[in-house]
Structure 1
Amino acid sequence: MTVASKLKQTIASLKGAAATMETYAAHHPDQQVKETFKTCRQQAEQIIAELDQRLQEMEFEEPQYKGF
C-alpha cells in the first residue's frame, strides 16, 4: 500500500468520523455536549482540508498516484 493510498484511506476515515460527530451533535439532548461534538467536527474538517491539500501536492509531484 502506497503512502498516497494510506493518506486517502485516512481522509475517508476522518470524513466518516466527522459525519458521526455531526449526527451525535444533532441528537444529543445536552447543549454542552452538542457544542463539544460541533467543535470536534470542525477540527476534523480542518485536518481533512489540510490532508486533502497534501494529497493534491503528492499527486502533482507523483502523477502515478492520481486516481488510486
Structure 2
Amino acid sequence: MTVGTQVQQTLAGLKSAQASFETFALQTDNQQAKQMYQQTAQQTQQIQQEEPQYNQNQQQQQQKQ
C-alpha cells in the first residue's frame, strides 16, 4: 500500500467521523454534548484542510469536473 493510498484512507475515515459528529450534534438535546460534537466536527475538518496531499487531490477532482 502506498503512502498516497494510506493518506486517502485516513482522510476518508476523517470525513466519516466528521459526518458522524455532525449527525450526533443534530440528534442530541444535550446542549453541552451538541457543542462538543460540533467542535469536534470542525476540528476534523481543519485536519483535512491541513493535509497538503488532500488539498492537491481536491483541486485535481474539481478540475476534472
In structure 2, the gaps of 5 or more residues are 58-65
**TM-score, normalised to structure 2's length?**
0.80
Contact 2:25 2:38 in 1 (8 A): yes
Identity %: 37
Misfit runs of 4+, over 2 Å = 56-59
**TM-score, normalised to structure 1's length?**
0.77
Alignment match, 2:62: none
Following superposition, the deviation at residue 23 of structure 1 comes to: 0.1
Alignment match, 1:13: 13
Alignment of 1:24-39 (within 5 A): 24-39=24-39
Root-mean-square deviation (CA), in Å? 1.8
Contact 1:4 1:58 in 2 (8 A): no
Which residue type is aligned with residue 3 of structure 1? V
In structure 2, the CA distance between the partners of 1:57 and 1:30, relative to structure 1 (3 Å rule), is: closer
In structure 1, the gaps of 5 or more residues are 60-68
In structure 2, the CA distance between the partners of 1:29 and 1:8, relative to structure 1 (3 Å rule), is: same
In structure 2, the CA distance between the partners of 1:43 and 1:25, relative to structure 1 (3 Å rule), is: same
Higher relative contact order structure (alpha carbons within 8 Å, sequence separation ≥ 6): 1
Count of matched residue positions in the alignment of Structure 1 and Structure 2 = 57
